[in-house]
Structure 1
Amino acid sequence: MSEDQPTPRPPVPSPAALAKRVAPRPAAPPAAVPEHSESARFGRADDEGHVFVTVGDEEREVGSYPGATPDEALQYFARKYDELAASAALLEARLANPDVSAKEIADGLGTLKEHVEQANVVGDLPALHATVERVEAGLEAKRSAESEQRRAARAEAATRREAIVAEAETIAAQPPGSTQWKQSGERMRALLEEWKGHQRSDVKLDKPTETALWQRFSHARNAFDKARRAWFAELETTRADAKSTKESLVAEAESMSTSTDWGPTARAYKQLMDRWRQAGRASRSDDDALWERFRAAQDAFFTAKDAASAAEDEEFRGNLAVKEELLVEAEALLPVTDLEAAKASLRGIQDRWEAAGKVPRADIERVEKRMRRVETAVREADDQRWKATNPELSARARSMAEQLEAAVAKAEADVAKAEASGDERKAAAARERLASQQQWLDQARAGLDEFGG
């Protein structure tokens, strides 16, 4: 080593160089180097250029600067401390910046500690080490905060993925008969794209969580696809069965389209329609074509039936006029005053009614209802006379009246006896029984009068 050169030491990073290790920044003009460093007060230099630093009560040599004055040598090593202290202060300031990651701080701290351990400088070394310790403590806090932030971010990301999985499972769990397959399939594809988007840009989940969620999502998608394939396979079979059934129904309908057996055939068409509804649906094109044939056959029959009915109605209008005259004649028998004469007249009217024949369909219920009203009135009058002349009923009514007369006489005797004895309570009870017996007797006598008794 030359006597006129300072002792070689590891280079101390400048504050700008250390900041660049922590986070890239735009270049800035270098700061002016002060001519005198206050850090020199922590050391001394002898006349031979040897420089010493004081740490507490101890002093140790940090280097030498031959060929320089003691003050120049001391200032050289003091300025080296200032650069190192400035780097430490800058790193501590960067620690408080939320945009600087813990990894960047750790990288800078490693470099700083390396230079601090190797540095032979003059300055407040305890303060420098305290700064390093504060940075170390702050780094741990920053790591803990970042870990909590990552945990919260992963929890939110897991919640977003869980929502995707839950919706997919809901879609897959729909009953096949009420599933809108097209819309549900499109939504499943959209959910898959959302999942991929989260994988590309969202916070990464821990492996077990992501694997469990993906397995659920994959299972839901596979279950949906399987159910859709099964549904459409079954639908194809069902449509084929429905087509075959409806082809048979169309053949039956077409075979009956020319029938003139109006009543039974109309009922048969109604039964065919019920069977058509129960047959299910074929494909739209097949269903529409078969329905057109079925409806054409049905329309042909009912058009012919309506035409025949219209012709019949025209033919039966004369019969209607006859029956309406008979109705006037029948209704004149009411109210019934001479039962035997009314019965004889009604029999004659009924014979002529049957002989008159059918009336138009729209008038059947109206005229039949008027005739039934007359027939009912005559029958009720006949029933009433029979009841009034029934010997058995008359004898029963007379016996009942006689029994009640005896009961009334006994009740009257009980009332008289109770009043004579002065027992008002018994007298009141006897009078109450007498009133009831008298009421029943009056009703029995009224019934007896109906039978001519």
Structure 2
Amino acid sequence: MTDRDISADTSATTSTEEPAAAPAAPAPSAPAPSAPPVAAASAHPEKWGRVDADGTVYVKTEDGDRAIGSWQAGEPAEGLAHYARRFDDVRTEVELLEARLKAGSGDPKHSLTSAKHIKDSLKDAALVGDLAALNARIDHVLSRAQEAVESVKHARDEARQAAVARKQALVDEVEKIAESSTQWKSAGDRLRAILDEWKTIKGVDRKTDDALWKRFSKARDTFNRRRGSHFAELDRQRATAKERKQELVKLAEELSDSDDWAGTAARYRDLMTEWKAAGRAPKEADDALWQQFRAAQDKFFSHRSAVFDERDAELVENGKRKEALLAEAEKINPQGDLEAARAQLHRIQERWEEIGKVPRDRIRELEGKLRSIEEKVRHAADAQWRRTDPEAEARAAQFRERVEQFEAQAAKAHAAGDKRRAEQAEAQAAQWREWLQAAENAVASR
């Protein structure tokens, strides 16, 4: 084989390697029409070419035989087989391009370029085979490759538009958050999530991406400034609340030793209202101040409870002592010695007043029992007066003296602020006044 034969071989081959960065072509949505078959030339090379006696190799074409080279290295059949194998290599390359396009693998643009190169090389290719069928097959591959290139371009455009639309939607959301949201924690989390998603969105042209990023960054800065201002103001409010609560703690501690039970309890209620109105101080300080405030309150109310418990115990004991007096008073017999009965009742009444207060829920019960005994003695005296009239004028004078005596006691008790003793003296004065009235009526009727 001559140098001319060898050099002619180089125009029939091309690289099938594709760029790694090129996206795969999408598989066609509908089956493409079948490509015309191309028979293998190596099986019957004599069908597609010939070798002249001088060694010139020809390939049969639609326009007639075309010389493609010279074979001097052996038998003519070997020369035809050699060029037929070259044809089969190109045929295999075309089939590989078609298979890639059909499978949607590789870069369809690279496949289109390779197919064009093969088609252009067929005009002068040193090959023996069915060139017309191979050319038709290449045309079919070119058509499929062009469709795949357009499909990839369309898919890229759609992906770019979707990416732009998504980033636009994210920017709109960020701007809305930046202008109006006050849910600082959840809004901050959402902004971080949006940024993470933003980084995953590819395919946006630089100009559009830069413009959208400027809006995104500006909105995020706006949100951060608003959030910073909010927490700065919150810090100022908490500092003010801390100062006010410190003042309230001081007031509460000053009241903790007071024995003005009603007034101080009311003041503590007012302080609690002021405490709630003061707002929250910084958490650690707020907790500590609350503990101090509560400790002062607890000290006062614990002291008050202890005093009240002691007072209640004293009142209960007073009730028991008055019960004992009532038991003693019930033994008075005004039907016998009336004067002795009156004297005994008077001594019981004095001791009754000396005992003092009883539990509120027992006042009516105990006072009612004593008044029943007093009524019993008074009725006995009335009955005796109706039966006798011993020195009515002297008795009237004595009764008048007793009325004046008890009225004086009532006035003295009023002046001392002892309401109960005053009421008791007034009741006794009223009783003696009734007896005086009866005595005076007896004197007047004689």
Shorter-chain TM range is 0.5 to 0.7
**For 1:265 and 1:365, how far apart are their aligned partners in 2?**
26
**For 1:213 and 1:326, how far apart are their aligned partners in 2?**
98
- Return the offset for 1:294: 2.0
- Return the offset for 1:148: 5.1
Residues 62 and 121 of structure 1 are in contact (CA less than 8 Å); yes or no, is this contact kept in structure 2?
Answer: no
What amino acid is the match of 1:146? V
Match of 1:133 among 120, 129, 139: 139
**For 2:61 and 2:89, how far apart are their aligned partners in 1?**
19
Give the corresponding residue for 1:65. 70
**For 2:125 and 2:269, how far apart are their aligned partners in 1?**
108
Residues 83 and 126 of structure 2 are in contact (CA less than 8 Å); yes or no, is this contact kept in structure 1?
Answer: yes
Could you tell which deviates more after superposition, 220-229 or 207-216?
207-216
Q: Does 1:364 align with 2:360?
A: yes
Give the corresponding residue for 2:114. 108
Residues 42 and 124 of structure 1 are in contact (CA less than 8 Å); yes or no, is this contact kept in structure 2?
Answer: yes
**For 1:241 and 1:270, how far apart are their aligned partners in 2?**
22
Could you tell which deviates more after superposition, 148-157 or 303-312?
148-157
Give the corresponding residue for 2:278. 279
**For 2:190 and 2:273, how far apart are their aligned partners in 1?**
38
- Return the offset for 1:130: 0.6
**For 1:140 and 1:35, how far apart are their aligned partners in 2?**
28
TM-score, length-scaled by structure 2: 0.57
Residues 68 and 126 of structure 2 are in contact (CA less than 8 Å); yes or no, is this contact kept in structure 1?
Answer: yes
Cα offsets for 1:162-201 (capped at 9, x unmatched): 897788678768853x64x3x76566545534543x25xx
Give the corresponding residue for 1:225. 224
Cα offsets for 1:397-453 (capped at 9, x unmatched): xxxxxxxxxxxxxxxxxxxxxxxxxxxxxxxxxxxxxxxxxxxxxxxxxxxxxxxxx
Could you tell which deviates more after superposition, 163-172 or 125-134?
163-172
Residues 18 and 87 of structure 1 are in contact (CA less than 8 Å); yes or no, is this contact kept in structure 2?
Answer: no
Residues 317 and 359 of structure 1 are in contact (CA less than 8 Å); yes or no, is this contact kept in structure 2?
Answer: no
Residues 57 and 71 of structure 2 are in contact (CA less than 8 Å); yes or no, is this contact kept in structure 1?
Answer: no
- Return the offset for 1:125: 2.0
Could you tell which deviates more after superposition, 66-75 or 125-134?
66-75
Q: Does 1:192 align with 2:195?
A: yes
What amino acid is the match of 2:247? S
Aligned length: 325
Could you tell which deviates more after superposition, 280-289 or 143-152?
143-152
Change in Cα spacing, 1:151 to 1:4, as seen in structure 2 (3 Å) is: closer
What amino acid is the match of 2:235? E
Cα offsets for 1:318-346 (capped at 9, x unmatched): 6656999999xxxxxxxxxxxxxxxxxxx
Give the corresponding residue for 1:91. 97
**For 1:267 and 1:208, how far apart are their aligned partners in 2?**
71
Consecutive unaligned residues in structure 1, runs of 5 or more: 24-33, 328-351, 373-453
What amino acid is the match of 2:67? V
**For 2:189 and 2:55, how far apart are their aligned partners in 1?**
84
- Return the offset for 1:121: 3.6
Residues 13 and 84 of structure 1 are in contact (CA less than 8 Å); yes or no, is this contact kept in structure 2?
Answer: yes
Could you tell which deviates more after superposition, 222-231 or 151-160?
151-160
Cα offsets for 1:380-413 (capped at 9, x unmatched): xxxxxxxxxxxxxxxxxxxxxxxxxxxxxxxxxx
Give the corresponding residue for 1:270. 269
Q: Which is bigger in relative contact order (C-alpha 8 A, separation at least 6)?
A: 2
TM-score, length-scaled by structure 1: 0.56
**For 1:64 and 1:289, how far apart are their aligned partners in 2?**
104
SS of residue paired to 1:61 = strand
Pairing 1:94-243 to 2, within 5 Å after superposition:
94-147=100-153, 149-150=155-156, 176=182, 179=184, 181=185, 185=188, 188-189=191-192, 192-196=195-199, 198=200, 203-207=202-206, 210=209, 214=213, 217-218=216-217, 221-243=220-242
Consecutive unaligned residues in structure 2, runs of 5 or more: 21-39, 327-349, 369-446
What amino acid is the match of 1:192? L
What amino acid is the match of 1:129? N
- Return the offset for 1:49: 3.7
Change in Cα spacing, 1:155 to 1:356, as seen in structure 2 (3 Å) is: farther
**For 1:284 and 1:133, how far apart are their aligned partners in 2?**
80
SS of residue paired to 2:64 = strand
- Return the offset for 1:256: 2.1
- Return the offset for 1:247: 1.6
**For 2:6 and 2:297, how far apart are their aligned partners in 1?**
119
SS of residue paired to 1:260 = coil
**For 1:371 and 1:216, how far apart are their aligned partners in 2?**
88
- Return the offset for 1:263: 1.4
- Return the offset for 1:119: 1.6
**For 1:357 and 1:166, how far apart are their aligned partners in 2?**
85
Give the corresponding residue for 1:341. none
Change in Cα spacing, 1:22 to 1:368, as seen in structure 2 (3 Å) is: same
Cα offsets for 1:351-390 (capped at 9, x unmatched): x9x9799746xx4367579999xxxxxxxxxxxxxxxxxx
**For 2:364 and 2:237, how far apart are their aligned partners in 1?**
50
Pairing 1:310-389 to 2, within 5 Å after superposition:
310-317=309-316, 320=319, 359=357, 363-364=359-360
Residues 261 and 304 of structure 2 are in contact (CA less than 8 Å); yes or no, is this contact kept in structure 1?
Answer: yes
- Return the offset for 1:54: 3.7
- Return the offset for 1:289: 2.8
**For 1:210 and 1:115, how far apart are their aligned partners in 2?**
43
- Return the offset for 1:269: 0.9
- Return the offset for 1:302: 2.2
The share of aligned pairs that are identical, in percent, is 35
What amino acid is the match of 1:232? F
